[in-house]
Amino acid sequence: MGGSPTQQVKGASQEPSLPQAGTIEKQQLVPLIKALEQSRYGIRLIVYWLTDFARISEAVVPSFYDQLSAIGKQEKLDLLLFTRGGDIEAPWRIVTLMREFCNKFAVLVPYRAHSAGTMLAMGADEIVMTSMGVLSPIDPSRTHPLLPRREGATESEPISVQDMRHAMTFIKDTAKPGSEISYTPESMAQIVTALFDKIHP
């Protein structure tokens, strides 16, 4: 159930598109989804499987809507999730959309659902994990049009909220009276200016 660097959302109700070369074949994918649905007592399944190069994003919501509309309103729905995380705004949007189409839903974690994936899982009525399943601490990342972009990238780089908090705490702690390093007001201004030169306030 691998995927390309772009996000993939697949439902058992429709024929999923052919994954990229080197991943599981299309004819193998549908029987696996159906077998998992049967093992879950007929609960319909949506698969949200991301490679390490893809991030959870609100851009996937229209694809979720298409699949959920094809399946229709259900008493219960399952979401098979595999991700290293992504935008912190996206889990709430995905969870609320899932709940529009079911009364109860579960998140299935076969291996990892990190960061924003953990947030998404926490929005479910049930989390089902294999012995290899892993959730993670939540290290939210934010994106913004004014944040820096890599050369050739269409979107700005995500910034870790925790990393920013740690950086600011470090600057404050090292500037305290009696610390090994003391900064003049001018030095502090240069440090903060250099930081916000790269990351918009």
Does residue 41 sit in the same domain as residue 66? yes
Q: Is the dihedral of CA 6, 4, 121, 101 positive or negative?
A: positive
Taking CA atoms, 98 is separated from 172, 190, 193, in Å, by 43, 47, 43
Give the domain-ending residue among 97, 112, 138: 138
Residue 99 main-chain phi, psi, to 5 deg:
-70, -20
Percent of the chain with pLDDT over 70: 83
- The pLDDT of 148-165, averaged and rounded, is 78
Please give the mean pLDDT across all residues of the chain. Answer: 83
Does residue 36 sit in the same domain as residue 62? yes
- Assess if residue 3 is contained within a domain: no
Does residue 60 sit in the same domain as residue 134? yes
Q: Is the pLDDT of residue 11 over 60?
A: no
Does residue 87 sit in the same domain as residue 184? no
Give the domain-ending residue among 94, 115, 138: 138
The CATH number given to whatever domain includes residue 132 is 3.90.226.10
Does residue 79 sit in the same domain as residue 23? yes
For residues 14 and 48, the model is more confident at 48
Q: What is the pTM of this model?
A: 0.66
Euclidean distance between CA atoms 144 and 140, whole angstroms: 13
Domain count, the chain: 2
- Assess if residue 1 is contained within a domain: no
Does residue 56 sit in the same domain as residue 128? yes
pLDDT tens digits, one per residue of 61-110 = 999 999 999 999 999 999 999 999 988 889 999 999 999 999 999 999 99
Does residue 120 sit in the same domain as residue 178? no
- Assess if residue 2 is contained within a domain: no
Does residue 125 sit in the same domain as residue 28? yes
Does residue 132 sit in the same domain as residue 43? yes
Domain that holds residue 114: 8-138
Does residue 146 sit in the same domain as residue 134? no
